[in-house]
Structure 1
Amino acid sequence: MSNTNENIHHLGKVCSEYCMSASEVYNMLLSKNDGDFPLSFDTVKYMVLKDVSTDKLKMIFTQEELKSIFSNINLKKSKTHKQKIL
């Protein structure tokens, strides 16, 4: 794991309007467990892609973690999801 603790704050803005901290977003993405949160794992995953640059994600997660989190991403859905949020 790289400088995760230093860089995790980049996830803070993603779900702050849903009262989710950077640490909660980080833990949800790694565990894929969204039972205790107001948003689903898929929703948070797409929000992170929209709001956090690839370079910052690489500073937060290892390459293997990124593959695990975003392995089944649907780019078409990602674009549609972005439009719905805007």
Structure 2
Amino acid sequence: MSNTNENIHHLGKVCSEYCMSASEVYNMLLSKNDGDFPLSFDTVKYMVLKDVRADKLKMIFTQEELKSIFSNINLKKIKNTQTKNFINSL
């Protein structure tokens, strides 16, 4: 878990314009509870995929957490080939 805490800052830039901290983004992705936030869970997970490299996501989340977060993703919405490959690898 300490490894996660050291790397969570990579999520900070994702929703900063919506005043969401890295820990809020992290907690929302794990809980899928977006009731207290200005953005929906689905919006945030796509923003994370767009703004955070896959290798950084692997340092923040476990493989099981990544599967849970990105399991229902629409690959047609993802333009980056490396990101598509990352999602398919889960």
Structure 1: 5+ residue stretches without partners = 80-86
Match in the other structure for 1:64:
64
For residues 1-86 of structure 1, what are the structure 2 equivalents within 5 Å? Answer: 1=1, 3-79=3-79
Q: Tell me the distance in 2 between the aligned counterparts of 1:35 and 1:70.
A: 19
Q: Distance in 1 between matches of 2:5 and 2:63?
A: 16
Paired residue total: 79
Greater relative contact order structure (CA < 8 Å, 6+ sep): 1
Deviations 1:18-47 (A, max 9, x none): 000000000000000000000000000000
Partner SS, residue 23 of structure 2 = helix
Q: Percent identity?
A: 96
- What's the Cα RMSD here? 1.0
In structure 2, the gaps of 5 or more residues are 80-90
- Distance in 1 (alpha carbons) for counterparts of 2:55 and 2:64: 15
Match for 2:61: what amino acid?
F
Q: Which portions of structure 1, spanning 4 or more consecutive aligned residues, are displaced by more than 6 angstroms?
A: none
8 Å contact kept, 1:4–1:59: yes
Query: Could you tell me the TM-score, scaled by structure 1's length?
Result: 0.88
